[in-house]
Amino acid sequence: MVEDYKPRVKSRSSRKTKSHINNLLRFFIWMTLCVSITMMILCAMIYVSTTEVFHVKSIHIEKTPHLKEGEALSMLNLEEGDNIFSWDMRLAKQRLEAHPWVKAVRISRRFIPASVDVEIKEYIPIACVIIGDKRYLVSEEGKVFASAPKDFDGLVIKGVERTAFGTEEVKVLLQEGINIVRLLEGRGYLVKDISLGMGGKTEIRLCNGICMEFWDDISISKVDRALAIMKKVSPRDGMIIDLSFDDKVILRFEGRGA
């Protein structure tokens, strides 16, 4: 009976020991996998960055009238022999789009063989707007995009104030003026210039010497009314067609009354 009260020596459970060993094995297995994957990634990166397979073999840039190939290539910041993966295509596209003549850019690249194709669409100048003592080109969308050359002989738009330059209101006015020009030229009348005056006054001067005068509103219906009158009345140089009213049209000559 005395032996029943002797202190017992506790021994480790065999189940806990096995569990601990399994956890260690799992840790070493995952660590080995992570190291192996890391090494594989490093090797792949070294291969991609050094192998000639991914060196650029050709760069094709679509020719445009104003953005020259050399200038476009400089903006791409890419040369034949450069690694295609180390090139920042997004940044190159942003640099090209920042050029005043560029309307849109499309860049496509292939990895095998490594090559780059660049398509550039430029603005089409349809008019010249005079602001102060400077001249700017206007696109068919009404966007002022670049300085106008001195020899520009197309449509001229005058009277845009410096303070309003670049505003949405001016863009709308330019777009409306261009739409009217298209309408008139579609009917066989060439437009010489458009003058945006004070208080909403707008004058459209034709190449035949006729001037259309509007106040506040330039509408296609008023232009149609002016064209109908010109068919009935023989137009003469210096004639002004006043379209300021909705219910009547006033004809007068420069320096004379109606």
For residue range 45-95, list pLDDT tens digits in order: 555 555 567 788 999 998 899 998 899 999 999 988 888 888 899 999 999
Residue 258's pLDDT is 47
Residue 181's pLDDT is 84
Q: How many CA atoms lie within 13 A of 82 on its CB side?
A: 15
Residue ranges, comma separated, of all CATH 3.40.50.11690 domains in the chain are 125-253
What is the spatial distance between Cα 79 and Cα 55, in angstroms, rounded to a whole number? 9
Measure Cα distances from 109 to 50, 73, 106, 180 in Å.
19, 15, 10, 42
Summarize the confidence of residues 140-164 as an average pLDDT. 81
C-alpha 205: how far from its chain's center? 32
Instruction: Give the largest Cα separation in the chain, rounded.
Output: 143
C-alpha 162: how far from its chain's center? 24
Residue 143's pLDDT is 84
Residue ranges, comma separated, of all CATH 3.10.20.310 domains in the chain are 53-122
Residue 118's pLDDT is 95
**Highest mean pLDDT: which of 16-20, 35-39, 113-117?**
113-117
Q: Which CATH superfamily is domain 53-122 in?
A: membrane protein fhac (3.10.20.310)
Query: Is 80 exceeded by the pLDDT of residue 123?
Result: yes
Quick one: what percent of the chain has pLDDT higher than 70?
82
Summarize the confidence of residues 4-14 as an average pLDDT. 55
Tell me, yes or no, if the pTM score tops 0.85. Answer: no
C-alpha 68: how far from its chain's center? 18
Measure Cα distances from 86 to 73, 130, 154, 160, 240 in Å.
16, 45, 45, 46, 64
Summarize the confidence of residues 27-51 as an average pLDDT. 67
Name the helix (H) or strand (E) containing 93. Answer: helix 89-97
Instruction: Yes or no: say if 182 and 225 are a contact pair by the CB < 8 Å rule.
Output: no
Residue 108's pLDDT is 92
pLDDT band at 98 (very low <50, low <70, confident <90, very high): very high
Measure Cα distances from 191 to 157, 170, 183, 197, 200 in Å.
10, 20, 10, 17, 20
CATH code for the domain defined by 125-253:
3.40.50.11690
